[in-house]
């Protein structure tokens, strides 16, 4: 039987937020959807909600727009109270000339307000973070969550777009049905920290060894290809919304008693790093199991060894942010 869950999309009037809100409104497990954004958003959150409220789905949709000040967190009560899942595609994309640290400071600042509001109003919710840089923002937010005595396993970094892309590229190369293709993507969610394990996919493992480095790179660079094709007018929004909804629906299916696996970037003990993307099982408590990496071939093991120090540094940047902004 379908569930009855309350979901909030924070940044719901943005490029990712609008299609993500639509896809979540279409999930039979969603009975209430809140579209939450700032008053200065391109489209008022109330307008996005009014539009979506006409879909002939059971879900009630309501919009909330807040001024960009710290007190907004106080007003978020009605919107967040009772939420089972909060998806966060809020934040700004990286601008030319801006380094990773600048982006981290801006977006972690945005995420911090939202995560603090979640801690106050819906501490049991699963919080899915799309806001970049995921590799650093997730550790920063988990540390803050832990300090409040809450369970860091509720914070999930959404890396599903890497899986979606890896699956699609294998399909394009082999012509095999999509239903046979599931490439786990582990590590992190930027550049070389993204590691698709083609050897663990029944179709992916049939790819010729000399094609693997290019396929691997194609997955790593896919976001940049979209940014270039959009000619400076945005990054991946539609495919990200699709991927974010896939993760969101998996979380809700888990809460509703199904056992669902997806890859996600979470607090982890499967490697030496405290945060890592690997296969995760969602169940009634949210993240129930973080799975070990499984067997890696020589190429993948080499890539893993190379990505660990890079990811370590990005995690540390998040931990430093949490310390500096305690
Ligand atoms: P966008 O600018 O179109 O939308 C962002 C929305 O967030 C805007 O409507 C804005 O008003 C809202 N917002 C900003 N601060 C807020 C706050 N404090 N509270 C509530 N809402 C707030 O940007 P887009 O393209 O939708 O990207 C959003 C984020 O997602 C960026 O950080 C981007 O880097 C990230 N991203 C992540 C991907 C992933 O795979 N995890 C892929 C693509 C983008």
pLDDT of 234 reads 87
Cα(111)–Cα(158) distance, rounded to whole angstroms?
A: 14
Return the ∠ at Cα 12 (arms to 6 and 18), rounded to 5°: 110
Is 171 catalytic? The answer is no
According to DSSP, the residues that pair with 8 across neighbouring strands are 34, 86
pLDDT of 71 reads 63
According to DSSP, the residues that pair with 275 across neighbouring strands are 267
Nearest atom of ligand 1 to the alpha carbon of 13? 9
Q: Give Dmax (Cα) for the chain.
A: 56
The pLDDT tens digits for 126-147 are 999 999 999 999 999 999 999 9
Q: Which of 178, 167, 64, 184 is nearest to 114 (CA)?
A: 64
pLDDT of 142 reads 98
Å from CA of 214 to ligand 1 middle: 30
Q: Given its phi and psi angles, is residue 291 left (phi above 0), alpha (psi -120 to 50 degrees) or beta?
A: beta
Tell me the best of 89, 132, 160, 242 to mutate to test the pocket of ligand 1, counting ligand atoms within 8 Å of each CB and taking the most.
89
pLDDT of 136 reads 98
pLDDT of 68 reads 72
Residue nearest ligand 1's atom 4 by CA? 14
Q: Note whether 33 and 60 are within 8 A (CB).
A: yes
Q: Note whether 140 and 147 are within 8 A (CB).
A: no
* Dihedral angle sign, alpha carbons of residues 287, 239, 213, 221: negative
pTM of the model: 0.97
The pLDDT tens digits for 32-74 are 999 999 999 999 999 999 999 999 999 999 999 988 765 666 6
Give the tokens for residue 189. Answer: 């969610």
pLDDT of 232 reads 80
> Would you mind telling me the total number of residues written for the chain in this entry?
326
pLDDT of 233 reads 87
Tell me the CA end-to-end span of the chain in Å, nearest whole number: 43
Burial of 80 (0-12, 13-18, 19+ CB in 10 A): buried
Catalytic residue (choose from 84, 171, 189, 291): 189
Cα(7)–Cα(126) distance, rounded to whole angstroms?
A: 10
| ipTM exceeding 0.90, yes/no | yes
Residue nearest ligand 1's atom 39 by CA? 130
Cα(245)–Cα(22) distance, rounded to whole angstroms?
A: 9
């Amino acid at each position: 039987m379908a569930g009855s869950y309350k979901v909030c999309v924070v940044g719901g009037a943005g490029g990712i937020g609008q299609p993500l809100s639509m896809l979540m409104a279409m999930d039979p497990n969603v009975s209430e959807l809140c579209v939450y954004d700032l008053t200065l958003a391109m489209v008022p959150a109330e307008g996005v909600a009014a539009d979506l409220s006409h879909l002939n789905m059971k879900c009630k949709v309501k919009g909330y727009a807040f001024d960009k000040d710290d007190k907004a967190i106080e007003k978020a009560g009605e919107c967040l109270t009772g939420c089972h899942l909060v998806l966060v595609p809020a934040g700004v994309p990286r601008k030319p000339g801006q380094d990773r640290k600048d982006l981290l400071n801006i977006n972690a600042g945005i995420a911090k307000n939202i995560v603090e509001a979640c801690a106050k109003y819906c501490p049991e919710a699963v919080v899915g973070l799309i806001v970049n840089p995921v590799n650093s923002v997730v550790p920063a937010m988990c540390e803050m969550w832990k300090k409040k005595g809450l369970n860091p396993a509720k914070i999930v970094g959404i890396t599903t777009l890497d899986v979606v892309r890896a699956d699609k590229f294998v399909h394009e190369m082999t012509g095999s049905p999509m239903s046979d293709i599931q490439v786990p993507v582990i590590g992190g969610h930027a550049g070389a920290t993204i590691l698709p394990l083609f050897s663990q996919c029944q179709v992916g493992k049939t790819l010729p060894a000399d094609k693997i480095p290019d396929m691997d790179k194609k997955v790593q660079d896919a976001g940049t290809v979209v940014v270039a094709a959009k000619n400076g007018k945005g990054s991946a929004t539609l495919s990200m919304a699709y991927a974010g909804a896939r993760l969101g629906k998996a979380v809700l299916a888990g809460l509703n008693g199904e056992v669902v696996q997806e890859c996600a970037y979470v607090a982890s003990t499967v490697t030496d790093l405290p945060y890592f993307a690997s296969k995760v099982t969602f169940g009634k408590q949210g993240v129930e199991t973080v799975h070990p990496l499984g067997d890696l071939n020589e190429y993948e093991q080499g890539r893993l060894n190379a990505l660990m120090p890079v990811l370590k540094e990005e995690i540390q940047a998040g931990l430093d942010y949490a310390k500096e902004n305690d």
